[in-house]
Amino acid sequence: MEENKEVNEVEEVNENHGEVALESNTNIKISDDVIAVIAGVAVAEVPGVAEMSGGFAGGISEVLSGKKNLSKGIKVESGEKETKIDVNIIVEYGTRIPDVAFEIQNRVKKAVENMTGLKVVEVNVHIQGVSTENMESKETPENN
């Protein structure tokens, strides 16, 4: 009988400890800007992405500050437990767009979920253009 009492007490302590841990996590609020930077870094690592496509204001702030805006082209909508992310990019000419988009979705989802603990319910990739800069630089030496 005494052994059963000890087991029950241990279970009660573990249950109470688990509740305390859950309560402390409910006060964490991660800014949409932080999520956007995490997503931006993940997108920048994907082969085939020429650049992020942001608005005119984003380009001006980069020039004035001298710093690269890691959240450029990323829009985040987050709740307490879930987030939705929109990514606007320009792809390199010659890359297979569905492959690039799929890789972006996987990397962004993994990075954001691992770092924030939020569930990523959507990663929408919007292709805003195709960069032909690499294509032109390859052709130039041959023409000389």
**Choices 3.40.640.10, 3.30.70.1350, 3.20.20.540, 1.25.40.20: CATH for 30-143:** 3.30.70.1350
Q: How far is CA 128 from CA 27, 53, 92, 121, 124, in A?
A: 37, 7, 11, 22, 13
pTM summary value: 0.69
> Three-state SS for 117?
coil
Question: pLDDT in tens for each of the 144 residues of the chain?
Answer: 555 554 444 444 444 444 444 445 457 889 999 999 999 999 999 999 999 987 544 444 454 545 567 888 999 999 889 999 999 999 999 999 999 999 999 999 999 999 999 999 999 999 999 998 766 555 555 554
- Between strands 119-131 and 82-92, the pairing is parallel
Q: What φ, ψ does residue 122 adopt, rounded to 5°?
A: -150, 140
Map out the domains of the chain as residue ranges: 30-143
Residue whose C-alpha is closest to residue 84's, from 55, 138, 120, 56 = 120
> Three-state SS for 118?
coil
CA distance 90 to 86: 14
Q: Bridge-partner residues for 78, per DSSP? A: 83
DSSP string over 85-115:
EEEEEEEETTS-HHHHHHHHHHHHHHHHHHH
